[in-house]
Structure 1
Amino acid sequence: MPKSQVRKKKVYTPPSDIRPAAAADSKKPSPVWLPATAVILIVVGIAWLVVYYLSSQQWPVESWQYWNLAVGFGCMVASLGILSRWR
């Protein structure tokens, strides 16, 4: 049986004229404050929740009642949003 001919595939090269600014921007490293801020927000959020539970729901702000949970978890969610920008 005869053997079929092997075809060479062309190597794909992306066009350089489409969004050259985006390619240059993606290689820029993140600033130093970004991960530091995220870690601080995580620590503040966890500390806020721990203080709230250990003080029998009287501290950090007694009049906020269960909104203290929103503040603690909000800090941690904000840190996740910041970490999504980290390169």
Structure 2
Amino acid sequence: MPKSRVRKKKVYSSPTGTSSSSADSYEPSPTWVPITAVALIVIGIGWLTLFYLSGMAYPVAAWGYWNLAVGFSCMVAALLVLSKWR
């Protein structure tokens, strides 16, 4: 039985027009990005916890269930801020 030919793998070459220095052009995020994100997460969780533990009387009783929207919005905002973190 004849042996099959061994195929050589092609050597990877980067696409033309892009340089490897473009990856070095990214700067690290400012320190306020993770601090703001953690603060928004803590505020959101604290808002929701206070809302449920107070029997829906605090933080703003007149808002009713809109307090849930405020708490979850803080956490979603934290995710949006974290998407900018490098």
Query: 2:15 maps to which residue?
Result: 15
| TM-score of the two chains, using structure 2 as the length reference | 0.77
TM superposition shift of 1:50:
1.4
Name the Cα RMSD after superposition. 2.4
Does residue 60 (structure 1) correspond to residue 62 (structure 2)? The answer is no
Q: In the TM superposition, what are the counterparts of 1:1-87 in structure 2 within 5 Å?
A: 1-15=1-15, 17-18=17-18, 23-25=23-25, 27-87=26-86
What SS does the corresponding residue of 1:29 show, helix, strand or coil? coil
- The answer for unaligned runs of 5 or more in structure 2 is none
User: Hey, what's the Cα distance between the residues in 2 that align with 1:15 and 1:23?
Assistant: 14
TM superposition shift of 1:52:
1.1
User: Hey, what's the Cα distance between the residues in 2 that align with 1:84 and 1:13?
Assistant: 30
What SS does the corresponding residue of 2:33 show, helix, strand or coil? helix
- Code of the aligned partner of 1:10: K
User: Hey, what's the Cα distance between the residues in 2 that align with 1:9 and 1:85?
Assistant: 38
Residues 22, 62 of structure 1: CA spacing in aligned structure 2 closer, same or farther, 3 A cutoff? farther
Residues 22, 74 of structure 1: CA spacing in aligned structure 2 closer, same or farther, 3 A cutoff? farther
How many pairs were matched up?
Answer: 86
- Code of the aligned partner of 2:66: W
TM superposition shift of 1:22:
5.2
9-18 vs 61-70, greater mean Cα deviation? 9-18
TM superposition shift of 1:20:
7.0
48-57 vs 35-44, greater mean Cα deviation? 48-57
| TM-score of the two chains, using structure 1 as the length reference | 0.76
